[in-house]
């Protein structure tokens, strides 16, 4: 197989408190034309991972270990200027809030074309034409007119289309999409996901999809990682993970979703009752010594509180960080 676009090995991200890690031991790889979904509840380190890839970690946070390779190049220790050159051109990002991710006092067209100009792909005039073309491609009506419009004149869905244009402007090889549909209406969510898939087919870009929405992950992703308090609990092909989750946490996540339609078209029946996972995600500063999911888990034993189980292979292509991981229980309840 060819070289992956993005390859993360044992990534550790630390905050201002020296001893605790916001992300600990994350590994994943994405090839061209593939989508990998990073799934988990809020505060589990998804966005931190995205920002670490782009080299935009907030003040106080930094990569403490592991490696991030973009097209084979180690980027965790790059000088800021080199990293800036990669941002926008080789990798780009779509943010969760289309309402605030666009500059309110600049025209949307300028916000798209400035990437093309800054990356010296085209001179300003041609960049403008290219931006209009992109706006047409993402389904914005009358792109030449809308080029001169300002973000406040757009709906949330239209803004996210603009954000897509910005991310696509310099034809990046990797698109990091951080909750790209969370802030949108359900119907618009579907359109944006559809659009992302279409773009991927056309450009062959690799997508890292960060979401807490398993429906979105199932629709778009080829493979899937479940992150909990900064650590991987499960990883595998998306369709398999969603059809037969191994880890109790993944099972809990699925059981708390109202309805799940999987890419292939298989529809899982909605359970008679939604089962919320009891308790709350601990803060990464207060990680328990044993299994991170111990106090919320239904199958935990005394040993789980003492030892943190490592991510272990399960069959040919799947991994789970639980000695009791098994699809049996899920099969029984969700046949």
Partner 1 sequence: MRAITLVARKLLNAALLLLAVIVLNFILIHMAPGDPATVIAGEMGGASAETMAEIRARYGLDQPLATQIFVYARRVATGDLGRSYFFNQPVKDLILRRVPPTLLLMISALTLAALVGVALGLVGAAWPHGPTAHLITFFSLAGYAAPVFWTGLTLMLAFGRFWPIFPISGMYDVVASRHGLSLALDVLRHLALPCLTLTLLNAAQFSRLARASLLENLSMDYIRAARAKGLSEFQVLCGHALKNALLPVVTMAGLQFGPLLAGAVVVETVFGWPGLGRLVFDSVLRRDYPVLLGILFFSALLVVAANLITDALYHKIDPRTRRLF
Interatomic CA distance for residues 306 and 295, integer angstroms: 12
CB–CB of 16/184 below 8 Å? no
Q: How many residues bind partner 1 (CB under 8 A)?
A: 31
Residue (51 or 281) nearer to partner 1, CB: 51
Position 152 contacts partner 1 (CB under 8 A) = yes
Verify binding: residue 127, partner 1, rule CB under 8 A.
no
Give the phi and the psi of residue 329 in degrees, each rounded to 5.
Answer: -60, -45
56 binds partner 1 (CB under 8 A): yes
Phi and psi angles of residue 25, each rounded to the nearest 5 degrees, phi first: 75, 40
Cβ neighbours for 289, distance < 8 A, ≥ 6 positions apart: 305, 306, 308
Of 70-78, 90-98, 193-201, 233-241, which part binds partner 1 (CB under 8 A)? 90-98
Is 103 an interacting residue with respect to partner 1 (CB under 8 A)?
Answer: yes
Q: List Cβ neighbours of 307 (8 Å cut-off, separation of 6 or more).
A: 290, 291
Q: Quick check: 88 binds partner 1 (CB under 8 A)?
A: yes
Q: Binding string to partner 1 for residues 290 to 319, with x set by CB under 8 A, is what?
A: ------------------------------
For residue 7, the minimal CB distance to partner 1 (Å) is 20
Binding-site member from 73, 74, 126, 153 for partner 1 (CB under 8 A): 153
Tokens found for residue 146? 């809308």
Spatial contact of 200 and 231, defined as CB atoms under 8 Å apart: no
- CA dist list (Å): 255 to 72, 174, 242, 289: 38, 32, 11, 27
**Residue window 35-54: x/- pattern of binding to partner 1, with contact defined by CB under 8 A:** -------------------x
User: Dihedral (C-alpha) 85, 87, 90, 94: value to the nearest 10 degrees?
Assistant: -160
Residue 125 in contact with partner 1, rule: CB under 8 A = no
Q: Does 101 bind partner 1 (CB under 8 A)?
A: yes
Q: How far is the CB of 50 from partner 1 (least distance, A)?
A: 9
Q: Which of residues 162-181 bind partner 1 (CB under 8 A)?
A: 163, 166
Where does this chain touch partner 1 (CB under 8 A) — which range of 35-43, 145-153, 212-220, 255-263? 145-153
User: Rule CB under 8 A: is residue 87 a binding residue for partner 1?
Assistant: yes
Token pair 């403490």: residue: 64
Q: Which of 284, 286, 242, 233 is nearest to 264 (CA)?
A: 242
Quickly list H helices, the chain. 46-54, 80-86, 108-118, 124-137, 143-146, 156-168, 186-203, 214-220, 238-243, 248-255, 328-333
* Contact residue for partner 1 among 64, 84, 212, 287 (CB under 8 A): 84
Q: Under the criterion CB under 8 A, does residue 183 sit at the interface with partner 1?
A: no
Q: Note the residues at the interface with partner 1 (CB under 8 A).
A: 54, 56, 84-89, 92-93, 95, 97, 100-107, 114-115, 118-119, 148-150, 152-153, 163, 166
């Amino acid at each position: 197989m060819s070289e992956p676009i993005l390859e993360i090995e044992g990534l550790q991200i630390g905050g201002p408190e020296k001893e605790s890690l916001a992300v600990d031991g994350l590994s994943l790889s994405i090839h061209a034309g593939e989508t990998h979904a990073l799934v988990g509840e809020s505060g589990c380190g998804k966005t931190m991972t995205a920002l670490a890839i782009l080299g935009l970690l907030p003040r106080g946070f930094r990569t403490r270990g592991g490696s991030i390779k973009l097209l084979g190049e180690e980027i965790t220790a790059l000088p800021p200027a080199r990293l800036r050159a990669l941002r926008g051109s080789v990798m780009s990002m779509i943010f969760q809030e289309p309402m605030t991710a666009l500059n309110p006092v600049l025209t949307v067209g300028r916000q798209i074309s400035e990437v093309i100009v800054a990356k010296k792909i085209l001179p300003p005039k041609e960049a403008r034409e290219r931006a209009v073309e992109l706006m047409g491609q993402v389904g914005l009506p009358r792109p030449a007119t809308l080029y001169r419009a300002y973000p406040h004149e757009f709906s949330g869905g239209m803004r996210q289309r603009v954000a897509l244009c910005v991310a696509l402007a310099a034809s990046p090889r990797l698109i990091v999409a951080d909750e790209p549909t969370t802030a949108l209406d359900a119907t618009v969510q579907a359109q944006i996901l559809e659009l992302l898939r279409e773009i991927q087919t056309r450009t062959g870009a690799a997508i890292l999809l960060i979401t807490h929405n398993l429906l979105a992950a199932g629709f778009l992703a080829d493979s899937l990682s479940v992150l909990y308090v900064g650590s991987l609990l499960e990883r595998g092909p998306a369709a398999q993970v969603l059809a037969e989750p191994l880890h109790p946490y993944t099972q809990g996540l699925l059981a708390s979703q109202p309805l799940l339609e999987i890419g292939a078209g298989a529809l899982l029946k909605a359970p008679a009752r939604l089962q919320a996972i009891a308790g709350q995600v601990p803060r990464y500063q207060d990680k328990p010594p044993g299994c991170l999911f111990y106090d919320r888990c239904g199958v935990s034993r005394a040993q789980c509180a003492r030892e943190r189980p490592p991510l272990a292979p399960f069959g040919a292509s799947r991994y789970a960080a639980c000695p009791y991981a098994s699809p049996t229980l899920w099969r029984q309840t969700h046949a």
